[in-house]
């Protein structure tokens, strides 16, 4: 199978290199990597091009997740389109191989993989990852749940059914629902695991769930979320998280985070279901272009096929220094002359 990897990004210079390194370490080599960039002002595009990615631009004023995916798929030439967020990275060298394996069955139109956070992700979001992405693979899956942060689809299916560009979020679930209704199978692959970095402010957490709730109103006309739902789910989810934290011996450390995350999650959901259904210019900026970016933290794995990111990142950094080293410095080192007149090389 020919694979095109499509990465959506906006100001992801802090994260994207690790993803690109992980792609380069895979046992299965993609035909191409396409970056769909929506107006980055940092080094995101330069980093992607340095790793051989082709860049497709989306105007920030026109951005939606569905439109970005359609642009990426339209530019792709592979039989399979693999989607990732720029702030994820694969855990093992076999990630890509496992992710696309179900698509060898013609009945499967979509395959998505497992996600987890790292030790700096919000504790409650770790619980959500564990609930949404269990340890057992399923094919075919009964529901239309999926997630485009770690997903693969048949490009031929997309050609007849592009993503909904009007939705403010959950374009992946809307697409999967339609594909499944048309008879396609959905596969969940626990072995295709990525780390999904979400280090958001509380306002960003609230906005994310508000945006997704607004989308759910369009996807499911019977969906609703009342104040009673907010209160009961807040109590249940907080209690569940507190029990988990107690069992892991981190209750005192995490109690405040649990309360704030679940409140902002559910308050955002309530506003999304019960507020305006259209996205204003102000909301667009808040939803898609938050002012404060998160931080990345890199866990180490101990599996035999785990990717050694620190070693690969150090090698990439060394290679850049060698490429940037001025000729005068090299000649001076060879001849034993002073480097006082040579330009000092600073790592990027």
Confirm if 121 and 108 have CB atoms less than 8 A apart: no
pLDDT in tens, 196-241: 998 888 999 999 999 899 888 888 888 899 999 999 999 999 999 9
| Residue among 39, 165, 20 nearest 87 (CA) | 20
Q: What is the model's pLDDT at position 281?
A: 46
Confirm if 103 and 152 have CB atoms less than 8 A apart: yes
DSSP lists the bridge partners of residue 112 as 151, 188
Q: What is the model's pLDDT at position 219?
A: 87
Residue 209: is it exposed, middle or buried by C-beta count within 10 angstroms (0-12/13-18/19+)? buried
**303 pLDDT band (50/70/90 cuts)?**
low
Distance CA 314, CA 8 (A): 25
Q: What is the model's pLDDT at position 307?
A: 87
The two tokens of residue 219 are: 């996807």
The answer for residues whose C-beta is within 8 angstroms of residue 191's C-beta and 6 or more apart is 92, 94, 98, 113, 114, 137
Strand order in the sheet with 80-85: 54-57, 32-37, 3-9, 80-85, 150-154, 108-116, 185-196, 88-90
**321 pLDDT band (50/70/90 cuts)?**
confident
Confirm if 185 and 139 have CB atoms less than 8 A apart: yes
**300 pLDDT band (50/70/90 cuts)?**
very low
pLDDT in tens, 76-130: 999 999 999 999 999 999 999 999 999 999 999 999 999 999 876 899 999 999 9
Portion of the chain with pLDDT greater than 90, in percent: 66
Instruction: Over range 40-66, report the average pLDDT.
Output: 92
Residue 333 reports pLDDT greater than 50: no
**186 pLDDT band (50/70/90 cuts)?**
very high
pLDDT in tens, 253-278: 999 999 999 999 999 999 999 987 55
Q: Please, what are the domains in the chain?
A: 3-196 (3.90.550.10), 202-288 (no CATH)
Q: Are strands 88-90 and 150-154 parallel, antiparallel or unpaired?
A: unpaired
Distance CA 335, CA 338 (A): 9
Q: Are strands 88-90 and 185-196 parallel, antiparallel or unpaired?
A: antiparallel
Distance CA 327, CA 332 (A): 9
Q: What is the model's pLDDT at position 163?
A: 96
* Structure letter (DSSP) for residue 70: H
């Amino acid at each position: 199978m020919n694979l095109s990897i499509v990465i959506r990004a906006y100001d992801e210079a802090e994260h994207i290199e690790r993803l690109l390194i992980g792609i380069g370490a895979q046992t299965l080599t993609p035909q191409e990597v396409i970056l769909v960039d929506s107006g980055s002002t940092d080094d995101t595009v330069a980093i992607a091009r340095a790793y051989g990615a082709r860049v497709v631009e989306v105007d920030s004023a026109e951005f939606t997740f569905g439109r970005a995916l359609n642009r990426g798929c339209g530019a792709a030439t592979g039989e399979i389109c693999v989607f990732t967020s720029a702030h994820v990275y694969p855990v093992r060298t076999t990630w890509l191989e496992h992710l696309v394996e179900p698509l060898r069955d013609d009945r499967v139109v979509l395959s998505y993989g497992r996600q987890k956070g790292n030790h700096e992700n919000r504790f409650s979001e770790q619980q959500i990852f564990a609930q949404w992405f269990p340890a057992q693979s399923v094919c075919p899956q009964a529901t239309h749940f999926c997630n485009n942060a770690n997903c693969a689809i048949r490009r031929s299916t997309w050609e007849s059914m592009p993503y909904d560009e009007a939705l403010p979020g959950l374009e992946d679930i809307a697409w999967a629902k339609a594909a499944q209704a048309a008879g396609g199978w959905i596969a969940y692959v626990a072995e295709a695991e990525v780390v999904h970095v979400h280090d958001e402010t509380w306002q960003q957490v609230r906005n994310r769930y508000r945006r997704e709730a607004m989308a759910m109103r369009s996807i499911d006309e019977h969906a609703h979320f009342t104040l009673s739902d907010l209160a009961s789910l807040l109590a249940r989810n907080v209690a569940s998280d507190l029990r988990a934290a107690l069992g892991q011996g981190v209750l005192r450390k995490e109690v405040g985070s649990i309360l704030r995350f679940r409140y902002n999650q559910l308050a955002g959901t309530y506003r999304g279901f019960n507020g305006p259904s259209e996205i204003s210019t102000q909301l667009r900026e808040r939803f898609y272009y938050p002012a404060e970016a998160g931080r990345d933290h890199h866990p180490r794995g101990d599996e035999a096929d785990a990717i050694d990111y620190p070693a690969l990142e150090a090698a990439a950094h060394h290679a850049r220094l060698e490429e940037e080293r001025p000729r005068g410095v090299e000649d001076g080192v060879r001849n034993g002359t002073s480097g006082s007149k040579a330009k000092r090389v600073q790592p990027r």
